[in-house]
Structures are given as C-alpha cells and as structure tokens.
C-alpha cells in the first residue's frame, strides 16, 4: 500500500489551533464547550485558566519565536474585569526553540459573568517581522460565560 507523504512546502506561518475541537463533548474539561473550528466557550467560574494553542506551521527553529497578538475591538470581554492574560498585560506568545506550539494563557476572573450573559474575547495573531499569521486561522474567539 502506498504511503502518503504529508509535507508542508509553503511559507512558515503561525495560526491558532483549537486542540479541543475533536474531543467528544462528554470528555470536555469542566466549563468548556467546543463550538466551531476557531472558537469555544468557557465558564469563568469553573475554568481557572484557558489555554489557547498557537502553532508554528513550517520548520521548527533553533531559537524561541515570539509572536504578537491583539484583542479585536468587537470583544466585549474586558481585561482585568473578566480575564487576564498571563503574564498580565501580555500581547505576545512564545513558541519555544525546537517546538511547534506556544501557549496563550487566559486566567478567568470568577464571578465576573452572571446569569446568561456572555462576553466574547476575540484575538488576532499579528506575527512578527519574519513570521506572519495564516489568513485562515489568525483569529480565535473565546466566549466567557457564567
């Protein structure tokens, strides 16, 4: 039987990866519901910290790669009220040397969302001088709920 060789030959890019997408709903961590490919919903009261994967697509690098991200203006979740990035105020994520994944950590603030309210936190990768975001996977929405 022939072996399929899957080799990416395009430019090196960064992208968000929803590592929870393929998990069975019953197996989701407490307070997490998978939505679409690049979004999910998390409870601020049961999900202490949410981890969003940022993936390097292309050859791994010998040195750490630092890439920027920003909060999109349509977000209604507020830093310091509903969540904090770790470290607080960060707008960069680091993909370690000889790795393909970095982790953007979002600490939830318990009690900051009540009732049926929801607050989307929309993030966009901005890249750096030589690594740019994939057009298809540069935006991720984390919706915060009670």
Where does the pLDDT of residue 85 fall: very low under 50, low under 70, confident under 90, or very high at 90 and above?
Answer: very high
| Average confidence score pLDDT of the chain | 89
Task: Give dist(CA 113, CA 131) in Å, integer.
Answer: 36
Q: Give the pLDDT mean for 64-79.
A: 97
Question: 94-136, pLDDT tens digit by residue?
Answer: 999 999 999 999 999 999 999 999 999 999 999 999 999 999 8
Among 17-21, 33-37, 76-80, 142-146, whose mean pLDDT is lowest? 33-37
Residue 60 forms part of a structural domain: yes
Closest CA to 121 of 111, 133, 110, 108: 108
Q: CA separation (Å) from 141 to 35, 49, 76, 88, 135?
A: 10, 15, 11, 19, 15
Residue 7 forms part of a structural domain: no
* pLDDT reading at 23 higher than 50: no
Residue 23 forms part of a structural domain: yes
Residue 5 forms part of a structural domain: no
Closest CA to 125 of 135, 115, 117, 116: 135
* pLDDT reading at 28 higher than 80: no
Residue 51 forms part of a structural domain: yes
Per-residue model confidence (pLDDT) at position 22: 45
Per-residue model confidence (pLDDT) at position 109: 98
Per-residue model confidence (pLDDT) at position 126: 97
For residue 119, give the CATH number of its domain: 2.60.40.1740
* pLDDT reading at 40 higher than 50: yes
Residue 6 forms part of a structural domain: no
Number of folded domains that form the chain: 1
| Signed CA dihedral, 125, 72, 111, 81: sign only | positive
Residue 80 forms part of a structural domain: yes
Residue 4 forms part of a structural domain: no
Per-residue model confidence (pLDDT) at position 5: 75
* pLDDT reading at 45 higher than 60: yes
Containing structural domain, residue 45 = 13-145
Q: Give the pLDDT mean for 68-88.
A: 97
Q: What is the dihedral of CA 19, 87, 41, 24, to 10 degrees?
A: 30
């Amino acid at each position: 039987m022939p072996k399929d060789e899957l080799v990416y030959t395009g430019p090196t890019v960064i992208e968000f990866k929803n590592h929870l997408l393929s998990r069975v709903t019953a197996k989701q961590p407490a307070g997490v519901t998978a939505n679409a490919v690049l979004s999910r919903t998390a409870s601020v009261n049961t999900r202490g910290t949410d981890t969003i994967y940022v993936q390097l697509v292309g050859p791994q690098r010998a040195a750490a790669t630092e890439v920027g991200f920003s909060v999109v203006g349509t977000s209604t979740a507020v830093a310091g009220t509903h969540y904090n990035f770790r470290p607080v105020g960060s707008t960069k994520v680091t993909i370690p040397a000889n790795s393909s994944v970095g982790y953007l950590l979002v600490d939830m603030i318990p009690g900051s969302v009540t009732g049926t309210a929801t607050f989307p936190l929309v993030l966009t990768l901005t890249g750096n001088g030589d690594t740019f975001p994939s057009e298809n996977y540069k935006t991720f929405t984390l919706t915060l709920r009670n």
